[in-house]
Each structure stands twice: as structure tokens, then as C-alpha cells.
Structure 1
Amino acid sequence: MKTYYVYILKCSDGSYYTDFTSNLDAKIEVHQSGKRSDLYTFQRGPVQLVFSAEFNVPMFAIAAKKQIGRWSKAKKEALINGEFNFSVHS
């Protein structure tokens, strides 16, 4: 079974970037390389992985990414710091 990841990167400017992927290590390397000008992280590197969650169903990973992406910076930081858990409702 394939694993999907929702992740949060902390950028060098203090902002957060949230996305999902099926290959977390490769995706982080893409962000770290700074070679893709179409990415939010292009001029905000280096980036640091500060949160990730695993899913077995891609639509749940996408839903989690959308949910977290709408959150305030403070709420994302609470998640990163383990102050609460989130759940994705189908």
C-alpha cells in the first residue's frame, strides 16, 4: 500500500508551506534545491521540515493539506508543537 504525506515546511522568512506528496524525501529535496521558481519556497530557503503525517488514502492527505493550509500561523504552530491533533473527516 502506498503512503502519502502531508507536511509543513518552515521557510527562512518564518512562513510555513503546507503540501502533500507520496515521496517526502524527494519533495523536500526539491524545495531545498531552490531550482523551481514556480514553488512558494523558491526564494524562502533553506526550509526545515517541522511536521508530517502519513495517510494511506490520497484523498485524505489532500483534505488534510487543504484543512491545514487554511489555518492561521498560530494554529499551525500549535500542531507543530504537538498541542493538539487534527483529524480529517471524509
Structure 2
Amino acid sequence: MKYFVYILECSDATLYTGITTDLQRRLQEHNSSDKGAKYTKARRPVKLVYSQECADRSSASKKEYEIKHLSRKEKLKLLHK
């Protein structure tokens, strides 16, 4: 199964990082369902600004952890690669 690490830009210009197996479904959940993260529910609409495919859940989780520990400036640099 493929996993993706993704970054969303929220309506208040903050960034949210997560992992999923289905980017389109997860984006819809963040924007219009109770399954979206608590953080993004208050900051809708959100848009997908970055995604990276990973081989498995473990590598996706590790990448998510790395991204979450970057500064905002470093995250923005990642988006523009």
C-alpha cells in the first residue's frame, strides 16, 4: 500500500502536515467532514500544497516527523523545491 506525506495550507496561512493512503479523500475530510483534524476544522478551507509518496507507513511517519520539526521557513523552502 502506498502512503503519502502531505502539507496543507489553511485559510489562516498556517501549515498542517499529515500522512494518508488517499490524498483526495483526506483533503475532502479536512475540508468538509468530522474526520478532519481538529486543527484544520477551525481553519477551513485548506488546500494541498505538498505531497510525497512513501514506500510504507513507517517511512511516511518518519518523513512526517521530520517535516513537523522544521521551522515554517524551512517548510516553505520544501514547498518550493
TM-score range, shorter chain: over 0.9
**Paired-residue identity, %:** 35
- After superposition, give the CA deviation of every residue in 1:2-38 in whole Å (9 maximum; x if it has no partner): 1100000000001000000111111110001153575
User: CA–CA distance in 2 between the matches of 1:58 and 1:37?
Assistant: 19
Is the 1:34–1:41 Cα contact (8 Å) retained in structure 2?
A: no
TM superposition score normalised by structure 2: 0.92
Is the 1:6–1:19 Cα contact (8 Å) retained in structure 2?
A: yes
Unmatched runs of 5 consecutive residues or more in structure 1? 83-90
Question: How far is 1:39 from its partner?
Answer: 1.9
CA distance 1:28–1:14, shift in 2 (3 Å) = same
User: CA–CA distance in 2 between the matches of 1:51 and 1:42?
Assistant: 19
CA distance 1:74–1:4, shift in 2 (3 Å) = same
| Structure 1: 4+ residue segments shifted above 6 A | none
Is the 1:36–1:42 Cα contact (8 Å) retained in structure 2?
A: no
Correspondence list, 1:11-30, <5 A: 11-30=10-29
Unmatched runs of 5 consecutive residues or more in structure 2? none
Hey, what does 1:52 align to over in structure 2?
51
- In the alignment, residue 78 of structure 2 is paired with which amino acid? L
Q: What RMSD over aligned residues (CA atoms) do the two structures have, in Å? A: 1.4
**Could you say which structure has the larger radius of gyration?**
1
Higher relative contact order (CA 8 A, sep 6+): 2
**Relative to total residues, which structure has the larger helix share, 1 or 2?**
2
